[in-house]
Structure 1
Amino acid sequence: MINPVAGVGGRVGLKGSDGAEVQERAFALGAVARAGERATVALRELRSRRPDAAVLTAAGAMGEDAAREAGLSPMVVYAPGDPTSAADTVAAARLLAPQVELLLFAGGDGTARDVLEAVGATVPVLGVPTGVKMHSAVFAVNPRAAGEVAASSSRLRDAEVVDRVDGSTQLFGYLRVPDIPTRVQQRKTGSSGITPDAVSGIATDLLDLAGPGGPLVLGPGTTTRAIAALWGVDVPVLGVNVLADKRLVAADVSGDELLKLVSADSPAPARIAVTPIGGQGFLLGRGNQQLSPEVLRRVGLDRLHVVATEAKLAALGGRPFLVDTGDPELDHEFPAYLRVVTGHHRTTLYPLERQ
């Protein structure tokens, strides 16, 4: 079951994709719907592992198209409206739940909330990550992993469904998901202890790395926002922002805007600083889709810097960093260990799991 418009707000710099008005704005800004493509990746993996699997789905872009593209012969049991809506998600989920071993859905946190409303804990579910934020603990770490998990049998666990509402993250309930920690992501946890003292050394080292005049792209997060604040710059906590010489060049940029900015002539090459999502460890692919594969390749992975306080790394409990750029080849180009700036002249090597 696919939310066809999930994630359309990501690369164009919107904070989500929920609601017809947001979706219309996203498409007006040049957004491309990719939920179906990512769902197809999951279904191909499922087919490779369980070629005899019986797949029930909704018609057209809500599941049938992706299933057929993956080489499956789905049974269509629900016909959605045109365009599809959250009501279709709820109706399809209620119809499918009594008939399946696992309800596989493609979307983001908003879609997870719709599935929760429809079926609660009555059937095992798993999300194919196709949204913008995906802070809930019901998603596979990437689409291929979703297909891998869907093809297996495992014990279940209760997983949180969370979403941002009116600027704050709220818990809406729990869904039952396969308990495979290396393939199913954790819930995002809030940051604590981000003080000027905690990030002052990181800010100093970032300035040294960027050099005079060089564009410095700051990914979203409380850590990067605190770094900008030390330089006297106020940036949105959820946006991707570009600075140079402690000055704001552009705030809350889209992927296309960012691609132009990092290719512009400057005294020094552009650099990118990102911080892992608390509790999850994601560096890319969750809430920062503006840092597209095209942007990352243009800047170069050698000029991508990971910043985090030592407390934030400790809170991961040894779980590795994760990336889900949407380009599997690029994901595999990342090194197995990344250097993390944790303070002034203080770095540590931290593992990254390449899926």
Structure 2
Amino acid sequence: MMQQLRLGLVINPVAGIGGPTGLKGSDGENTLAIARQQGVEPKAQQRVATALELLTPYKTQLQFYTVAGDMGENVLQTLGFAYQVIYQPQHPSSASDSQLGAKAIAEQQPDLLLFAGGDGTARDICQVWPESLPVLGIPAGVKIHSGVYAVNPSAAARVIEKLLKGELASVHQGDVMDIDEQAFRQGSVKAKRFGEMTVPAELQYIQAVKMGGKESDELVLDDIAADVAERLEDVDIAIMGSGSTVEHVMQQLGLANTLLGVDIVEHLQVVANDVSESQLYDYLQQHPQATIKLVVTVIGGQGHLFGRGNQQLSPRIIRHIGLTNIIIVATKKKLQSLTEKGLQVDTGDPQLDSELAGLRTVVTGYHDEVLVNLVSVR
């Protein structure tokens, strides 16, 4: 029998806007202005719409409580869901509006709160949300370290669908994590646990808390670096993604690296560090005949290859480079830590996610590869 659900909805309307610009986050007064100067527009509402469009067959079973305007009302109105506005935010809205909106919604005792944003948004919600009421985040930010988010918007919809069908009942406590963005922009990850919230316990769809720290097995990393160096010898341009495994490759090549950014290497020489999405795209457009490789690694504990902390690698960038030109690197230890989740992709382009899905080779040592299933959770 189909269930009836009362859902809260809060959207951080500027979440993720700092990702394509290479700003490492969306906090700070100048981030929105800088992003818009580069032609970047917020995509949080689009991410929520992606999730809710999958739930349109269940409109009669869903009642939403939300915040006015861009913080929830607009997307519900566009898609034709039944909703009640509980809170009117300031303009422009701020973190306090996320908190006050969530607090007002909590008074309605919904079955579950959907919210869209990043770790900062989760932290804001956590401060005011009752522990007894479950939540589910739709990932829309740059930093997604917290274990309260679905792996992508479609996965959030699948969790709601399971709840509607009565197939999912258990919950667990997900950690709310956040990092110091100023330190993050300087290449240092300082993550801290700020609390926990109750989330549906569905491992296929709910993101794990990101594992921090560098790989400890230096010899394995040396072997991976040696293999990648061989692959790049005859390549014109190498786009080097973020993460400690890629950092080790760069160190072995004797090149300056941005641990938490994207670098451009031309004929094994760095030509640009920590580039934004628009800078990277312009550079690639200027080299239409070049051979290109993209070197990326996996976020430990989560398994995300794209869509977490590397939004500079946008769908148009990935398509320009070509799916066959992606080199995935990771230690077997890191891959084994992913358990049944496998590798995940959440580029924001469902068609591209589908094209990326399937068996992929991962470089795990010198001339040593393993086959891993790359999953687009829909």
Query: Is 2:229 the counterpart of 1:219?
Result: no
Match of 1:21 among 30, 36, 56: 30
Q: Percent identity, please.
A: 39
Deviates more, 1:262-271 or 1:154-163: 262-271
Structure 2 equivalent of residue 101 of structure 1: 111
Match of 1:91 among 100, 103, 106: 100
Give the 3-state SS of the residue equivalent to 1:40 in structure 2.
helix
Give the 3-state SS of the residue equivalent to 1:339 in structure 2.
strand
Q: Distance in 1 between matches of 2:85 and 2:341?
A: 39
Is the 1:284–1:322 Cα contact (8 Å) retained in structure 2? yes
Give how far 1:249 is off: 1.4
Aligned residues: 355
Match of 1:147 among 157, 172, 182: 157
Residue identity in the other structure for 1:5:
V
Q: Distance in 2 between matches of 1:108 and 1:341?
A: 30
Is the 2:343–2:373 Cα contact (8 Å) retained in structure 1? yes
- Cα 1:152–1:213 change in 2 (3 A) is closer
- Cα 1:127–1:16 change in 2 (3 A) is same
Equivalences for residues 122-271 of structure 1 within 5 A:
122-153=132-163, 154-165=169-180, 166=183, 167=188, 168-194=190-216, 196-265=218-287, 268-271=290-293
- Cα 1:74–1:267 change in 2 (3 A) is closer
Q: Distance in 2 between matches of 1:42 and 1:102?
A: 15
Give the 3-state SS of the residue equivalent to 2:55 in structure 1.
helix
Give how far 1:193 is off: 3.1
Q: Distance in 2 between matches of 1:119 and 1:295?
A: 38
Match of 1:327 among 349, 369, 378: 349
Give how far 1:24 is off: 2.2
Residue identity in the other structure for 2:297:
T
**Gapped runs of 5+ residues in structure 2?**
1-9, 164-168
Give the 3-state SS of the residue equivalent to 1:74 in structure 2.
strand
CA displacement 1:110-153 (0-9 Å, x = unmatched): 00000001114131101011101211111111111112212433
Deviates more, 1:324-333 or 1:335-344: 335-344
Give the 3-state SS of the residue equivalent to 1:56 in structure 2.
strand
Give the 3-state SS of the residue equivalent to 1:54 in structure 2.
strand
Q: Distance in 1 between matches of 2:143 and 2:320?
A: 24
Structure 1 equivalent of residue 71 of structure 2: 62
Give how far 1:266 is off: 7.5
Deviates more, 1:183-192 or 1:124-133: 183-192
Q: Report the aligned-residue RMSD.
A: 1.6
Structure 2 equivalent of residue 336 of structure 1: 358
Query: Is 2:67 the counterpart of 1:45?
Result: no
Match of 2:373 among 344, 351, 354: 351
Give the 3-state SS of the residue equivalent to 2:375 in structure 1.
coil
